[in-house]
């Protein structure tokens, strides 16, 4: 198997026929057909069904196509590196957080002012489980997460088994976010018992949800799915609009949901859960962080985490 076989196969799929593929590849139609057939023979499976109107990819071909695309992309990356076209990259993953996204953007702006912006940026948002996978598979260098006390020990064991390390950057309290017109926004504080009567919208997390944290400080679940209506989503915009326009509320940390700081959204402290959320980042244990990532972490601590601590004092 060689790169030419994969390239001819991918172009044939993309163009829908050997004839169109031959025009793109600047070769003959019989040659394209011959190369793709040699790949099929080598793999022992039919990748394309030949028809009068062109070619149709088979189920087996779909799988090989995805792998082939990744291989060709990686070959280009290696080729670029060979000729000195590779540039430094700031590769970050995070749970949904306007504040982290803002920090990345402002770090780049700060670098522009210093004349040191000769790097690429890659920023990815997802849930905690997907972030762990991204760091483990080397798709990102660092991943920012927030975790409750209930989940912290299990999470640290989980990432340790994958060769990862969690570094805590700070601890922050939980709040109930509600629209200004919501009846719950009139309360100065919210207790765990009151939460059983509140409709909640939460980010989709299978194992590390802040919602599942509640009640566990006393090793007792105060409420369950039968007494609490919980909607799930992966959309910041949906959460924001739901809070503004309905009776739904959301449990989160002031640090994470900077996007909720709006005149129409109220943050109500949840008692007695003081400073119960851990915020930090995961990285690969055996890898030294790049200088660029180290610089970003220092920038985050100096210009954003300190500002956040001051903001919490004023709440």
Q: What is the CATH number of the domain that holds 40?
A: 1.10.10.10
How many residues would you count in the chain?
A: 315
Helices 149-161 & 128-136 angle (0-180, nearest 10): 20
pTM of structure: 0.64
Question: Comparing 1-5, 7-11, 80-84, which segment has the lowest mean pLDDT?
Answer: 80-84
In terms of domains, do 9 and 149 share one?
no
In terms of domains, do 234 and 136 share one?
yes
Instruction: Give the domain extent around 139.
Output: 88-315
Which of 82, 111, 144 marks a domain boundary? 82
Which of 49, 82, 115 marks a domain boundary? 82
Q: What is the pLDDT of residues 180-219, one digit of tens each?
A: 999 999 999 988 788 888 998 877 664 455 444 444 332 3
Residue 32 CB partners (closer than 8 Å, separation 6+): 8, 11, 12, 18, 21, 22, 25
CB 1 within 8 A of CB 25: no
In terms of domains, do 244 and 120 share one?
yes
pLDDT at 20: 92
Domain total of the chain: 2
Whether 39 has a pLDDT exceeding 60, the answer reads yes
- Mean of the pLDDT values across residues 260-275? 74
Whether 261 has a pLDDT exceeding 70, the answer reads no
In terms of domains, do 39 and 110 share one?
no
Which of 63, 82, 101 marks a domain boundary? 82
């Amino acid at each position: 198997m060689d790169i030419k076989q994969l390239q001819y196969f991918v172009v044939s799929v993309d163009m829908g026929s050997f004839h169109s593929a031959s025009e793109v590849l600047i070769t003959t139609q019989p040659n394209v057909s011959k190369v793709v057939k040699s790949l099929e023979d080598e793999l022992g499976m039919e990748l394309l069904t030949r028809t009068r109107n062109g070619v149709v990819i088979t189920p087996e071909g779909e799988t090989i196509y995805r792998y082939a695309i990744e291989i060709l992309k990686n070959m280009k990356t290696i080729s670029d590196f060979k000729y000195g076209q590779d540039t430094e990259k700031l590769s970050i993953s995070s749970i949904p957080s306007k504040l982290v996204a803002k920090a990345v953007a402002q770090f780049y702006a700060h670098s522009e002012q210093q004349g040191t912006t000769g790097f690429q940026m890659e920023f990815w948002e997802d849930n905690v489980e997907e972030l762990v996978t991204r760091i483990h598979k080397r798709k990102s260098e660092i991943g920012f997460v927030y975790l409750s006390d209930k989940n912290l020990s299990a999470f640290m064991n989980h990432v340790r088994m994958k060769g990862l390390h969690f570094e805590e950057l700070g601890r922050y309290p939980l709040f109930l976010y509600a629209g200004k017109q919501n009846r719950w926004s009139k309360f100065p504080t919210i207790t765990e018992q009151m939460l059983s009567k509140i409709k909640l919208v939460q980010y989709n997390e299978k194992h590390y949800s802040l919602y599942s944290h509640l009640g566990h400080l006393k090793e007792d679940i105060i409420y369950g799915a039968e007494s609490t209506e919980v909607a799930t989503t992966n959309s910041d915009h949906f959460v924001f609009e739901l809070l503004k326009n309905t009776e739904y509320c959301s449990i989160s940390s002031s640090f994470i949901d900077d996007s909720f700081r709006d005149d129409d959204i109220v943050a109500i402290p949840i008692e007695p859960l003081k400073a119960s959320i851990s915020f930090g980042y995961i990285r690969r244990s055996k890898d030294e962080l790049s200088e660029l990532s180290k610089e970003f972490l220092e920038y985050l601590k100096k210009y954003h985490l300190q500002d956040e601590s001051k903001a919490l004092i004023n709440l």
